[in-house]
Structure 1
């Protein structure tokens, strides 16, 4: 049985503190030890040292190896050109660096990253930023489906439209979409926040466990256990601060954004009677 705190700012913004029985959480870093918040095997880089990579004629494996070589040489700013929409590029980067991509990426771009700031001038395919831990990714054009799948931290931003299932299984961090998103966005969302400045497709927030979704446009339909909530001053302050970071604005103003949270009827689904389960679904 989960117990939920009903006080504090995080609760007011739709985020909750819970304690689950028979669960443990392993600590990898101590937040008080700033010097140790890095991976021992991640190369140290200097943002003032610039490396360039022209991907013309290279395959994805060679490109990723070359990125690591540049990082091992201390390059903290890497300018990558002509990626050719190849899949699986710029993945597994664990150093804090600036990566500028001129062009578009294919499927699974920038997955499993923890720290870099990535700017992509073109588009991205499915599952950009999958399992992202920290850092920022800014996509200047559109993105495919499952944008930010299982993201755990950092800011993932698309200035254009995205496909369906945005933020599926989101576990933390922030996803910002400047345009519209497709069906089943926020499906099985567990933590974090999602900002959709345009319209949202059907089944928004379906089976979401926790977290908060903000929508500036029209919502075609809410999913199971996703419910509207009142926008409060904390929401407004956070939304303005976060959008200002990327020079973005809500088309109809922050005050007119809709807030969606979990209804929590599914939290104890296994304990419900068969007749009650039918009512929930």
Structure 2
């Protein structure tokens, strides 16, 4: 188990992530994970990323495909290729393990949701709610994605090399969503943390009711949602954006410095200072 290293000089302070002046207790703790640490679930499989196996899903149900993926991980296979996924729903879900997973085709609704750790490549399109509740790992979609892309994700990188539908990153709690093309309406709705990078245009009500987090847009914004306001780009942010985009072979249309930054106006922040037990006493 890694030792927690608490530091008041964490880089997130320089990036303006802790400017709120809320009173009371805090649960913020920072730690540094070392390569030698095994930060994994007790039931995780030891897999060899060089050990490859192909699954032909042409005649299989989604449940059968997912079962074969988990069985192969149990046998040490760390590189699994799924052919002919045929846009079935809920493929590649609930993988809490290191794994290189490739889909040679499109996925339906709820593809690769509830994952923690795998590196996924989808050579096609995805339907609604791709990678919802993703905890960690990388998911790259080579074509377009449906609505609710990255709903409620908490960590990792979720990348779409095409356009995405409405409500991208709804209730997002962490991680990074990168979209090379456009995004639909209400993207970033009730966003709580994390970063969203949209290199194309953004439809109406962007960032509506967002509590925290940052949205960067390279194209035109049709309209901002309630309590979403423009912010100022810092040099540290520009460096981070350039490095993140370069990792996935992407470039901001006019340079990262020209990206529009959207943050919460914090007018909707209505926190109750009383604890539940204190409320009972007062009421």
CA distance in 1, matches of 2:170, 2:50: 36
Cα deviation for residue 15 of structure 1 reads 2.2
User: The residue matched to 2:37 in structure 1 has which SS?
Assistant: helix
Cα deviation for residue 44 of structure 1 reads 1.1
CA distance in 1, matches of 2:29, 2:262: 30
Which of 129, 132, 140 is the aligned partner of 2:131? 129
Consecutive unaligned residues in structure 1, runs of 5 or more: 1-6, 272-281
Matched, 1:220 2:222: yes
The superposition leaves residues 140-174 of structure 1 with CA deviations (integer Å, 9 ceiling, x where unpaired) of 00000000000000000000000000000000000
CA distance in 1, matches of 2:59, 2:240: 44
Match of 1:35 in 2: 37
CA distance in 2, matches of 1:64, 1:224: 40
CA contact (8 A) 1:16 1:210 kept: no
Cα deviation for residue 35 of structure 1 reads 3.0
The superposition leaves residues 99-136 of structure 1 with CA deviations (integer Å, 9 ceiling, x where unpaired) of 11100000000000000000001000000010000000
Consecutive unaligned residues in structure 2, runs of 5 or more: 1-8, 274-283
Match of 1:245 in 2: 247
Which of 73, 76, 91 is the aligned partner of 1:74? 76
Inter-CA distance 207–11: structure 2 relative to 1 (3 Å threshold): farther
Cα deviation for residue 22 of structure 1 reads 6.9
Inter-CA distance 20–34: structure 2 relative to 1 (3 Å threshold): farther
Inter-CA distance 258–155: structure 2 relative to 1 (3 Å threshold): same
Matched, 1:184 2:186: yes
Cα deviation for residue 26 of structure 1 reads 11
Inter-CA distance 32–119: structure 2 relative to 1 (3 Å threshold): closer
Inter-CA distance 8–113: structure 2 relative to 1 (3 Å threshold): closer
CA distance in 2, matches of 1:57, 1:32: 43
CA contact (8 A) 1:212 1:261 kept: yes
CA distance in 2, matches of 1:56, 1:257: 43
Inter-CA distance 221–269: structure 2 relative to 1 (3 Å threshold): farther
CA contact (8 A) 1:56 1:83 kept: yes
Higher relative contact order (CA 8 A, sep 6+): 1
Match of 2:4 in 1: none
CA distance in 2, matches of 1:50, 1:131: 27
Inter-CA distance 270–79: structure 2 relative to 1 (3 Å threshold): same
Cα deviation for residue 91 of structure 1 reads 0.4
CA contact (8 A) 1:13 1:212 kept: no
Q: How many pairs align?
A: 265
The superposition leaves residues 31-55 of structure 1 with CA deviations (integer Å, 9 ceiling, x where unpaired) of 4795341011121100011011010
Cα deviation for residue 231 of structure 1 reads 1.1
